[in-house]
Amino acid sequence: MKEQKELDFIVIGAAKSATTTLYELIKSHPQIFIPAAKEVPFFSDSKTYKKGVASYIKSYFSGANPEKLWGTVTPQYMLGQGDTNPEIVAGRIHKSLSDVKLIALLRDPAERAFSHYKMQLQRGYAKLSFEELVEQTLENPDKLRANTKPEDSFIFGSEYGRILGYYYSLFPRKNILLLTTEELRKSPEDVVREICTFIGI
């Protein structure tokens, strides 16, 4: 028996794909515990990650009923954060929680990119128009992808095949559930039911 309970599931993203709505829907389930703060990134935050997963769980899950399933909703895990890209995040999660269940909520990639751009614009990161930034990014995507900054992360965050490839290379397919924002809009009850079946409640 493990001395410390681990996370049972993680909603890894994608950003701007209604993860907040999903968080609100599943946090009220009587058999689930999710920290009160929606986003509590650990694997994408190098400074926090260095403190160890035990410290992270103690900080956000102390006092949580161990009989419940523990999880987080952290869209940074498909986007990256600071000097940490999704490939590094996937590796860190697998190293610490090789049996965890992963849930990805995917929005139409163009819609997601534009929504992300609007958020960056409001925060003052984007100085150019959406069209100008797309054109600029596509001129040298490999270089920009390797050094992603807030103003160009909106495009790379929609590269689902590349991002999820990092997770599929480490985790068995049975541990990864893909859902869409469209499914969530049409039938939130069915989506929540599918998640419950997937994580085992």
What token pair was written down for 17?
Answer: 């794909």
Which homologous superfamily is 9-107+160-199 in? P-loop containing nucleotide triphosphate hydrolases (3.40.50.300)
Report the pLDDT averaged over residues 37-41: 83
What token pair was written down for 69?
Answer: 């399933």
E strand intervals along 27-156 = 32-33, 69-73, 101-106
What token pair was written down for 44?
Answer: 């994408």
The reported pTM is: 0.92
What token pair was written down for 80?
Answer: 């990256």
Distance CA 130, CA 60 (A): 37
Taking the C-alpha atoms of 111, 116, 121 and 123 in order, what is their torsion angle to the nearest 10 degrees?
A: 160
Residue carrying structure tokens 């103003």: 151
Give which of 30, 15, 37, 27 is closest to 65, Cα–Cα: 30
- The predicted structure's pLDDT at residue 43: 96
Domain range annotation of the chain? 9-107+160-199
- Per-residue pLDDT tens over the stretch 125-172: 878 899 998 888 888 888 777 766 655 678 888 999 999 999 999 999
Residue 35 Rama label (left phi>0; alpha psi -120 to 50; beta): beta
ω into 14 cis (within 30 of 0): yes
Under 8 Å CB-to-CB from 108, ≥6 apart: which residues?
Answer: 181, 182
- The predicted structure's pLDDT at residue 166: 97
- The predicted structure's pLDDT at residue 4: 74
